[in-house]
Amino acid sequence: MRIPRAQNAAEDGFVLIEILVSALVLTIASAGVVMLLQTTTRTQAELRHNSEAYALAQEDQARLTSMRLSTLNRLDQTRTVTLNKTSFNVRSRGVFINDNTSTPSCGEGTSTADYVEITSVVTWTGMDPGEKAKIVSILSPSNGSLDPNNGTLAISVKTRQQVPVAGAYVSGGSGAISGFTDAAGCAVFTDLPAGKYSVTVSGEAIKAVNKDGLYAETKTLSAVGGDTKTENFEFDFAGTIPVNFKYRVGSSAEFKTSSADSVVVSNSSMSAAKIFWTPSGLREETVNATPLHPFTSAYVIYAGSCSSNNPDPKAEGKNTAAIGKVIAPAGGIAVAPVLQLPALEATVWTGKNAANKGSAFANADVWVRDTTCTKSGQPVTRRYTTNSLGKLPDLGLPYGVYNVCADTEPGSVTSGVRVQRYENVTIQNLAATTNRDFYLGSGTEAASTTGSCP
């Protein structure tokens, strides 16, 4: 009997569906097999990498044990080794350990550097987090390897808050002492012949300074046979205080931006006050006081370059507008204080006297010499050129007493050099401007026709 054509078509459809389902099942099964193979391959690769890394760590330990003890101290070395097309990073470290404390021999109360701890750590490209090969061993100095008549110097560098400073460079002893502080702020130098050593700690590479704002500090230390001597240095990351300036216009409430060539910065914890920028040099609207140690107490800042420029020398709370009190942030920049400077309005005229002023004398020289402040044996002197109004371009000056002199300067408005001077002019008034007029006209009785400023 013949089967109807419609029935054959239905069966053909079911067969096609069965084929598609079978193909899907086969694909899923194949994907699972592939994933299993990939996982197995990755696991085998990880096992191989772990095995190779551990072997490299063992080889590195053998290499370290063959080194001299003096070489192992403060060793921190990283090298790359390629094995079976995989790059491995091998880090080797060594540090002397004190037997009493089981810590690096840099703390107070340690007696000797008793043994060396060597560490080998191996990592590789593409490793899973946490995977690494690490071996730590202890080496004891053999008899005779360290001279009992020699000693050890341990240099500890920390902040005032006792935070270790890593990366400070320690040097001295004609090369016998050379190395960097570790993460504990420690650098240990063993087997040093007994005697005195000039040891310098430098924080310049890491922008760290001592309490006087200096990048380097030197001390004379003694190595004692059979003993470890620890010396502490205080360094911290340098801060900056930008300083701005202003002066009062006459006796009004108006102020104008001023400039300065130097500022004095002091703190009770410093050995001495520090001067920033160059007295008698280029004037700027902002003077950056840096580097500064980041004390928790404020610095006292005023314009000038000597203690005689201090507007409040006895700390009585006087002339507070001329003084800044600012904390220097560790490794940062403080908000700039604005210091008020007392103002000198010196006006130069072409006439003979107040009744015959003439016109404003432009491009005249005005010299302002500090009577109480010297640098390198010479009075601090500031030179100005008058503007079209015959006045100084900037009226602000550090608090002080000055000799002020004006001259015509050869080749300017009149021939020859005529000079007028005012001696001991007190520039200390913050409430109003100090005024002085200069008459450099021919035949001026107040002016001298010989010599020149300053």
Q: How many CA atoms lie within 13 A of 141 on its CB side?
A: 24
Q: Binning pLDDT at 50, 70 and 90, where does residue 443 land? A: low
Give the pLDDT of residue 442.
73
Q: Whole-number mean pLDDT of the chain?
A: 84
- Non-local (6+) Cβ contacts of 43 within 8 A are none
Q: What is the mean pLDDT of residues 169-182?
A: 91
The residue assigned the tokens 């026709």 is 449
pLDDT greater than 50 at residue 385:
yes
Considering only CA atoms, which of 240, 251, 248, 380 is closest in space to residue 301? 240
Pairing of strands 400-407, 324-326: unpaired
Give the pLDDT of residue 399.
97
Do 264 and 273 touch, CB atoms closer than 8 A? yes
Do 144 and 69 touch, CB atoms closer than 8 A? no
The least confident of 91-105, 206-220, 254-268 is 91-105
The least confident of 179-183, 269-273, 311-315 is 179-183
The per-residue pLDDT for range 284-333, each reduced to its tens digit, is 999 999 999 999 999 999 999 999 999 999 999 999 999 999 999 999 99
**Could you give all domains of the chain from N- to C-terminal order, each with its CATH number?**
43-141 (3.30.1300), 147-235 (2.60.40.180), 237-340 (2.60.40), 342-439 (2.60.40.180)
Q: CA angle, corner 154, sides to 139 and 197, nearest 5?
A: 120
- 66 burial (CB, 10 Å; 0-12 / 13-18 / 19+) is exposed
The per-residue pLDDT for range 64-86, each reduced to its tens digit, is 888 876 677 668 889 998 888 88
The least confident of 77-91, 260-274, 328-342 is 77-91
In total, the chain counts a number of residues equal to: 454
44, two tokens: 């085998």
Q: Binning pLDDT at 50, 70 and 90, where does residue 141 land? A: low
Q: What is the mean pLDDT of residues 149-166?
A: 92
Give the pLDDT of residue 1.
46
Q: Backbone phi, then psi, for 181, in 5-degree steps?
A: -70, 145
Cα radius of gyration rounded to whole Å, the chain = 39
Do 386 and 348 touch, CB atoms closer than 8 A? yes
SS3 readout for the chain: CCCCHHHHHHHHHHHHHHHHHHHHHHHHHHHHHHHHHHHHHHHHHHHHHHHHHHHHHHHHHHHHHCCCHHHHCCCEEEEEEEECCEEEEEEEEEEEECCCCCCECCCCCCCCCCEEEEEEEEEECCCCCCCCEEEEEEECCCCCCCCCCEEEEEEEEECCCCCECCCCEEEEHHHCEEEECCCCCEEEEEEEECEEEEEEEECHHHCEECCCCCCEEEEEEEECCCCEEEEEEECEECEEEEEEEEEECCCCCCEEEECECCEEEECCCCCCCEEECCCCCCCECEEEEEEECCCCCCEEEEECCCHHHCCCCCCCCCCHHHCEEECCCCCCECCCCEEEECEEEEEEECCCCCCCCCCECCCCEEEEEEEEEEECCEEEEEEEECCCCCECCCCECCCEEEEEEEECCCCCCCCCCCEEEEEEEEECCCCCCEEEEEECCCCCCCCECCCCCC
Q: How far apart are the first and last CA of the chain?
A: 137
pLDDT greater than 90 at residue 159:
yes
Do 97 and 114 touch, CB atoms closer than 8 A? yes
Do 292 and 282 touch, CB atoms closer than 8 A? no
Q: CA angle, corner 53, sides to 50 and 56, nearest 5?
A: 150
Q: Backbone phi, then psi, for 110, in 5-degree steps?
A: -75, 150
Q: Find the farthest-apart pair of alpha carbons in the chain and give their distance in angstroms, rounded.
A: 150
The per-residue pLDDT for range 347-378, each reduced to its tens digit, is 999 988 888 899 999 988 999 999 999 998 99
